Amino acid sequence: MADLEIPSGSQMLQQQQQQLPPPQPMRLEVEPSTSSSASSTTGSAGSSSGGAATSSSSVTTVVVDVIATTAGTVEDPLEPCKKKPRVDSGEKCQSPCKEQIIKRETTEKLEYRLGGILCCAVCLDLPKSAIYQCTNGHLMCAGCFTHLLADARLRDEVATCPNCRVEISKHQASRNLAVEKAVNELPSECQYCNKEYPRNTLDRHERELCEERTTRCMYHRIGCPWRGPYHEVQSHHESCSHPNKSGAEVMDILRVFDQDIEKEKKMYNSIFDLLSYENITFNDLQLKPYRTDEFVHKLYYETSRFSAFTNQWVVKARINNNQRDPTQSCQRQFTYQLILKTKPTTPLEISFVILKGPFGDMKLSPQIHQFEFTEQTNESPYFTLPLVDSGEANRLLSAKTIQFRLIAFRQ
């Protein structure tokens, strides 16, 4: 389905561009800007591992653009030219708009090129956190940098820059603050309204400013399940029935909330219990995408080996519990398992929890799991990665690697 929509959508836009002036000339600008940003943020250099995820993310972008273009709902506050036609006649606007298109095309090309230059040389992503460089200036995101150091430690080798093979270490590499700041200025797309904003303002825009951001009803605490775009919340409040519920009805709802809070409290208490264990380790890991060699290739993720409690381990993850074709479902989730790679001398009763870690930006509500690893049972069952929503799973799928921290406890 999606494959069919893209060519027809872009053809339609090309035709519109040739027949200038179209009835709504302003909206043409939206297409090139968003699609080029999608490739610049996800890196179009075509790494073999992340290729599928990248193309699927650009599919959604293009389709969304086409819908937005035809529905005519796109407004760009950064685009002065758009506001003009409302005041002036359409005639007057056409030439500045053409200029604007040319101007934006050249700036976009620069942004796109910068995206390619400033990305991490290992994962090709534009990093959100610290950026390191080797003594020859090759850039690596903090996640990949620590990963290279960790791999070298495990192999008992000297870590080297993947580009020029010069030795790298905590002392023989430096942060590149200029690149970090430049990356922050590059445009990134809002997940709700698909408009572009500088990376350093995007968080605030998505959290507080975006008119399309998902918002809850102000009566959600007494049970209103409504969720919708921010610009509809006012009209919902006017028609919401929840403020008129009786005390008895509200009490029933509060009872459910109390149960949830009780559950949460239990989890925090168990974390404090675990923190008194004698053996605690943490590892900052990176899940990388691979494909199975079955007849129908399946995407799965795996970390490199890491050591904990004098044993070697890996974490494996898969999508939608190994569903045959996850693209058929709009709900996405990751499940993961912990695998013991060495033979334990005694059974290992391990509690573990996945957190976002210092270099990741995964949004999840942590859950503790427990498993007894023995010589015979060296793989834990698959547990759900407790991501905040399905959109977060898609965001992780579109990234080249997934950074996280695994904390493990052993009594």
- Contact residues for Zn ion, defined by CB under 5 A: 120, 122-123, 134, 136, 138, 141, 144, 161, 163-164, 190, 192-193, 210, 217, 219, 224, 226, 240
Choice between 124 and 338, CB closer to Zn ion: 124
For the bound state, the minimum distance from the C-beta of residue 224 to Zn ion, rounded and expressed in Å, comes to 3
Choice between 21 and 51, CB closer to Zn ion: 51
Choice between 172 and 321, CB closer to Zn ion: 172
For the bound state, the minimum distance from the C-beta of residue 233 to Zn ion, rounded and expressed in Å, comes to 9
Choice between 163 and 390, CB closer to Zn ion: 163
For the bound state, the minimum distance from the C-beta of residue 284 to Zn ion, rounded and expressed in Å, comes to 13
For the bound state, the minimum distance from the C-beta of residue 325 to Zn ion, rounded and expressed in Å, comes to 29
Q: At what angle do helices 390-398 and 51-71 cross, to 10 degrees?
A: 120
Choice between 244 and 346, CB closer to Zn ion: 244
Q: How far apart are CA 88 and CA 63, in angstroms?
A: 31
For the bound state, the minimum distance from the C-beta of residue 162 to Zn ion, rounded and expressed in Å, comes to 8
CA quadruple 252, 257, 263, 269: dihedral sign: negative
Choice between 67 and 190, CB closer to Zn ion: 190
Choice between 141 and 397, CB closer to Zn ion: 141
For the bound state, the minimum distance from the C-beta of residue 210 to Zn ion, rounded and expressed in Å, comes to 3
For the bound state, the minimum distance from the C-beta of residue 409 to Zn ion, rounded and expressed in Å, comes to 29
Tokens (6 digits) for 149: 């150091």
For the bound state, the minimum distance from the C-beta of residue 170 to Zn ion, rounded and expressed in Å, comes to 16
Phi, psi of 281 (to 5 degrees): -135, 155
Residue whose token pair is 């799991």? 369
What end-to-end distance do the CA atoms of the chain give, in Å?
Answer: 52
Choice between 219 and 313, CB closer to Zn ion: 219
SS3 per-residue string spanning the chain: CHHHHHHHHHHHHHHHHHCCCCCCHHHHHHHHHHHHHHHHHHCCCCCCCCHHHHHHHHHHHHHHHHHHHHHCCCCCCCCHHHHHHHHCCHHHHHHHHHHHHHHHHHHHHHHHHHHHHHCCCCCCCCCCCCEEECCCCCEEEHHHHHHHHHHHHHHCCCCECCCCCCECCCCCCEECHHHHHHHHHCEEECCCCCCEEEHHHHHHHHHHHCCCCEEECCCHHHCCCCEEEHHHHHHHHHHCCHHHCCHHHHHHHHHHHHHHHHHHHHHHHHHHHHHCCCEEEEEEEEEEEEECCCCCCCEEEECCCEEECCEEEEEEEEEHHHCCCHHHCCCCCEEEEEEECCCCCCCEEEEEEEECCCCCCCCECCCEEEEEECCCCCECCCEECCECCHHHHHHHHHCCCEEEEEEEEEC
Choice between 285 and 350, CB closer to Zn ion: 285
For the bound state, the minimum distance from the C-beta of residue 215 to Zn ion, rounded and expressed in Å, comes to 11
Choice between 3 and 238, CB closer to Zn ion: 238
Choice between 219 and 383, CB closer to Zn ion: 219
For the bound state, the minimum distance from the C-beta of residue 74 to Zn ion, rounded and expressed in Å, comes to 11
CA quadruple 83, 88, 93, 96: dihedral sign: negative
For the bound state, the minimum distance from the C-beta of residue 360 to Zn ion, rounded and expressed in Å, comes to 11
Question: Which residues touch 337 (CB under 8 Å, ≥6 apart)?
Answer: 315, 316, 317, 379, 380, 381, 382, 383
